[in-house]
Every structure is written in C-alpha cells, then in structure tokens.
Structure 1
Amino acid sequence: MRKLYVEILGNLPEMARDEVKAMLELGGGEVLGQDYLFLKVGAPERALPFLDRLGLAHEYGELFVEADSVDDLLQKAKEMEWPIRGTFKVDTETMANCRFNVLDLPRKLGAVIHSQGFRVNLSRPDTVVRVYCGEKLYAGIRLRFFDPKDFERRKAHHRPFFRPISLHPRVSRALVNLTKAQRELLDPMMGAGGILIEAGLLGLKVYGVDIRPEMVEGAERNLRHYGVKDYELRLGDATRLEEVFPGKEFEAVATDPPYGTAATLAGRRREDLYRKVLESVYRVLRPGGRLAIAFPASFDGKAEAERRGFITLGRYYQRVHKSLERYFYVFEKRT
C-alpha cells in the first residue's frame, strides 16, 4: 500500500471527502485521516486510475513526511532519499487551521533536497514537492494536479448547445463518482447533458433521457463536441423509465432534476414529479446500484427515497443563491 495524500476542494468538503472514499473503495484503498482539506490515504497502485477521476479535488500525490514541528519535518526530510525526477521546487499550502510558521519553510526544505544533488527550477520544475500546514505538517510529491481550466472549458456557456442552468462540471463529475459507476450511467433528466459529458469522459457508456426533443438533440451535440462516442439518448419520460428502456437494468444513475418552471416540469407539480422519478429509478436500478441526485432543500429527499426502498448513504447541503438551497443525495437500492 502506498501512502498518498489528496487535497480536496473547500466548497463541498463532505461531498469531496466521500467522493474520494468512493473511488478508494473501487481501488482497494482507504482514507486514513483528515486534517482540514488534507486527506491521508493508503492505496495500492491499482487505485490511482480511480483517483484520476476525481472532480472535487485540487490534487493528489505521494506522502513522505508527517511532522509535529518545522524542525521535525526538516530532520525527517534529511533522513530520507527523495525520489525526485529532474528538477524540483517546493510549494507550501497554508490551510486555514495551520499552527506553524512556515514562511521560510520552502527555502529550508528546498536546501535539504538540493543537498542531495537535485537542481531547483522555480518556473518549470519536473517535480513539485508539496508541504501542507494544518494541525500537523506534511510533505509529499505531487502526482496529479486537476487543472481548473479543464473543467472551466466544459461549463455551460462553452458548450455548443447552451442552457444557463447547469451544474458545474466538477460537481457533475463528483455525482458520477459517488455512484461508483464502472461501466455505465443513466441520467433520466439529462437536460443539456452535463452529467453525461463527465461520465463519458471517464470512459463510461452513458444513457440519457429527456421529455423535450430539443434537449435530446442538444445533448447529443454537446456529447459529440467533447468527444463522447458511447451513448444512447432517448426521448422519454423519467417517470416511466422501464418503458423507455424495456428490460434494461442500470448499474448507476445520476441526475439533476429541474427545480421549477412549467416548461421544465412538463406541466407537473414539482414534488409529484420527484416522487415518481424516485419510483421509476428504483425499478430500473440493479440491486446494490447507486443513485446520486439533487433536490431543492424544501423537498425531503431522504424521507421520500427511503419510503421507496432506498438506503441513504450521503446528504450534502449547498446554498446556490438566496432563492435556491439544495441537497445532493447518494442513495443505494437494497440488495
């Protein structure tokens, strides 16, 4: 087992942590501890491709040093052989709970590593040594940085078929990962296809349904634009999925239902629609399969889902703006 770290994002920290846990469950690893937004992780090599899927993470890397003081960190750094590839630089992340004075630490740690024969390059290093300051001090080597620009390029206003109401691509990806999907994913209320784009880019076969023809056509344009090829999109009703996909049982479902206009709800009352969608998804989801879904805070998604046979695995609050507060849920169908 390798000792790793994951730096999660702070906007939905509980959801981000559980996304990491879900990916580690697929890869045979586990979260060993947490220090603010820093997760200590134990994982085998086969877990790395699953960590590469993360949406609500800043980066992950190999963890080499855990220390109780600056002097302790520097002493441990002197005693180890650093696996530096090419040139390096030291970056320090001072978290909100940082207890130490780390102002001069990059220079001091850089000198320790330089003394082992490695060259410093502050502008274009081959290796980034990361130091995190929280309740303790941690030092490791970055393995993967999740560039925000990659996600920004897939935001709603950059897509060929544009609808302003859409989840951020990072959140869409996290919903996909929280289902633990490995082969396929269904979005029964796909809209412009934001969740399907993220699932498709992870190599999953994606299935999408929408009751509006323009959304089916637009989602296909978006999927093609981002290079997603393995998909099935159908015009249909999310409350009657067994008729849209006769005899089909799905591994995982993720969706962000519409929150309110008569057009998006196809003339139905919002709460009634949500209840019927939960029932329909339950019927087409395989036993043990997961549903990740968003509901406005006024709708008790936990109680309604459990009434229909689901088990609640996660619930995460987000305030979008003054007129919209919502929860993201992760449910599992009983086996």
Structure 2
Amino acid sequence: MLYVEILGNLPEMAQGEVRALLEMASPEFRIIERDYLFLALKGDKKAFPLLNRLGLAHEYGELLFSAKSLEELYSKAENVKWKNYIRGTFKVDRETMVNCSHLVENVEKKLGAIISKRGFKVNLSSPETLIRVYCGKKLWVGIRERFFKAKPFNERKADQRPFYKPIALPPRVARAMVNLARAKKEVLDPFMGTGGILIEAGLMGLKVYGVDLRRDMVEGAKRNLEHYGVKNYVLKQGDATKLRELFPDKTFEAVATDPPYGSSATLGGRKREELYKKALSSIYDVLDGYLSIAFPAQFNAEIVAEKIGFEVLEKYYQRVHSSLDRYFYVMRT
C-alpha cells in the first residue's frame, strides 16, 4: 500500500496525474480511496520511480494502515513490525486536514511512545525515518518516501528562465501535463513557446521534441533547456498544423501542449478556433498514444476532437483569471 498527498489548487487534475502514473507502473496499481487531499493507493515500491515524477503533489510514501478512531490507531500500531519500516532514528509528524474528524493533538507523542518502546530512538530535528499521521475522515499512518520541495519548481518559473515570456504554465502544471500524457520515453510539444513543458519532461529523463512558429521562441527554448541541463532534445521552427511535414517519418507516443489563447498576432494570423481544429488534426496524424492539452472553456474541444478520431478520457477545469477559464484534456488516439 502507498499514499500520495496531492496539492489543493487542482485536486481533480492532481488525482488524475497519480492515476496515470500508477497505470504506467502496473495495470494492477490504482487509487482505492481519497480522503480530502490524501490518496490511498494499491501499489508497491515498483511505483516509486514513476511517483518521483509527480508535479501536483506534496509527498508520497508507504501506507501502513488506516483507522476509524484513535483507539484503533494505537491498537494497530502495537501490532506493526516497526523494524521493517524504520531505518535509524524516527519522528512522528501529524497532518491535520480541513476535514479532520478526530482529536489528534497528542497523537505524535502517544504513537511515538509506542514505537520508542520497541527500542527506536526519536530525533525531532533530523530523523532518518519520518512517520506521517494524516487526520481526515479517517486516520492514516505511513512512512514518507519523498517530499516535493517548492524551491526547485520555483526556480523553473517563467521569470527565472534565461529566455523569459510572462505567459507560461507553472512548472508543476507543466509536469502534470506530461504525466497525464503517459509519456514513457518521449514527448512532443507543438506549441512549445519558451519550453516550459519540455523542461519538465527533460528533467524526467524523456527525449523532448518541440515546435514553434517563431524563430526567437525556438532559440529561446533552446537556451532554457540548456540552462536546466536538458540535452536530449529536437527543436524545430514550424507550423503546429503541419506536423507531418516537420516529422515525415516519426510517430510520437505522447503529446503535451498548451496552445496560445491570444490575439491573431500570436496565432500566426489565424482565428483561434481554426488554429485549434487544424492543430488537433495535425497532432492526430503524428500521435499513437495520449494527448494532454489545454483549451479555453469557450472552445468545444470534445466535439472537435471526437470528430477527428480522438477518444476524450479526462477533463479538468481551471479558472485562471477573470478573462480566462480553461480545461485540461486527456485524449487518446
């Protein structure tokens, strides 16, 4: 059993990202329960390499057990073979979620005392093993495997890159889009802009392919990729509506992209809906797998995509600001 604590800003999309990574790890792995932002998973350590790719998550780890009361938690803790889980010193840390239904003020001390009696040493400042207690509708006890620090993501925000344009996806969202596309070896972004999606994919160890209509964007994306140490890339200046011309002998396993939402000047002189329709058709021609794509809410992407031949699997809403509502879609050829 495993657990993931997801972020609260796009919780449904975050859950979809976890589901996609579990699916890639094993057809038997799945989400079995959600308690606010806590996901209980059927899976084992084979999922760790893929869960390390998470974007919309605080942390993940090994889930030991759940309980419906504090009494049940302490009873179960007495029967855990802690020697199988604790390496070196330990600390018990509590996460009280907004739906917490239990009085958990002293749970760290009481659970810590149970474990200490087994001969393990507490270290509150720098423990080698962190035991996590989540309080929601249920109580959940797990061992943290990895915490996703905010700083590395913040260092990859648009205004921190050598080539900077203000309109860009947050790195965590860009990473989630790559994961939703089920990319295992490679990913194409036909509207790469400054390369935000490609940076995240490249840092996951994927080979990245990017296309943009503007030469300055291609050169700028190259600078950004090199800045973050991404070396395995192919960038082309070209039209996202003519991908087969750009890649005559190539079929991609995954596409993740965020098409422009702006004026005709930023859309190559074309109307927005016309561009989206032609781009979807072009992507379909070079894709054998999954597409993760964002569109403004006003564009009826589902009807257009299904007419082309896509199967629309998932759809996640986000209100960006007063003039932009959008959906993130996951589609399959």
TM-score range, shorter chain: over 0.9
Name which of 162, 166, 169 aligns with 1:167: 169
Name which of 276, 280, 302 aligns with 1:274: 276
Secondary structure (helix, strand or coil) at the match of 1:317 reads strand
Structure-2 residue corresponding to 1:14:
12
Give the CA RMSD over aligned residues: 0.9
Is 2:230 the counterpart of 1:228? yes
**Cα separation, 2, equivalents of 1:181 and 1:57:** 18
Aligned-residue offset at 1:72: 1.0
* Equivalent residues of 2:2, 2:44 under 8 A apart: no
Aligned-residue offset at 1:261: 2.4
Structure-2 residue corresponding to 1:25:
23
**Cα separation, 1, equivalents of 2:284 and 2:65:** 46
Structure-2 residue corresponding to 1:50:
50
| Aligned amino acid, residue 50 of structure 1 | L
| Aligned amino acid, residue 16 of structure 1 | A
Structure-1 residue corresponding to 2:215:
213
Secondary structure (helix, strand or coil) at the match of 1:192 reads coil
Structure-1 residue corresponding to 2:331:
331
Structure-2 residue corresponding to 1:292:
292
Aligned-residue offset at 1:114: 1.4
Q: For structure 1, which segment, 54-63 or 75-84, has the greater mean C-alpha deviation from structure 2 after superposition?
A: 75-84
Is 2:186 the counterpart of 1:181? no
Secondary structure (helix, strand or coil) at the match of 2:263 reads coil
What pairs with 1:1-335 in structure 2 (closer than 5 Å)?
3-28=1-26, 29-82=29-82, 83-286=85-288, 289-333=289-333
Aligned-residue offset at 1:272: 0.6
* Equivalent residues of 1:207, 1:232 under 8 A apart: yes
Give aligned-pair identity as a percent.
62
**Cα separation, 1, equivalents of 2:126 and 2:46:** 29
Secondary structure (helix, strand or coil) at the match of 2:241 reads coil
* Equivalent residues of 1:60, 1:145 under 8 A apart: yes
Secondary structure (helix, strand or coil) at the match of 2:32 reads strand
* Equivalent residues of 1:195, 1:255 under 8 A apart: yes
* Equivalent residues of 1:27, 1:44 under 8 A apart: no
Q: Which runs of 5+ in 2 are unaligned?
A: none
* Equivalent residues of 1:24, 1:47 under 8 A apart: yes
Aligned-residue offset at 1:146: 0.9
**Cα separation, 2, equivalents of 1:208 and 1:97:** 43
Aligned-residue offset at 1:229: 0.6
Deviations 1:156-180 (A, max 9, x none): 1110001111101110000000111
Aligned-residue offset at 1:45: 2.9
**Cα separation, 2, equivalents of 1:209 and 1:270:** 18
* Equivalent residues of 1:186, 1:208 under 8 A apart: yes
* Equivalent residues of 1:190, 1:209 under 8 A apart: yes
| Aligned amino acid, residue 330 of structure 1 | V
Aligned-residue offset at 1:263: 2.8
Normalised by the size of structure 2, how large is the TM-score?
0.97
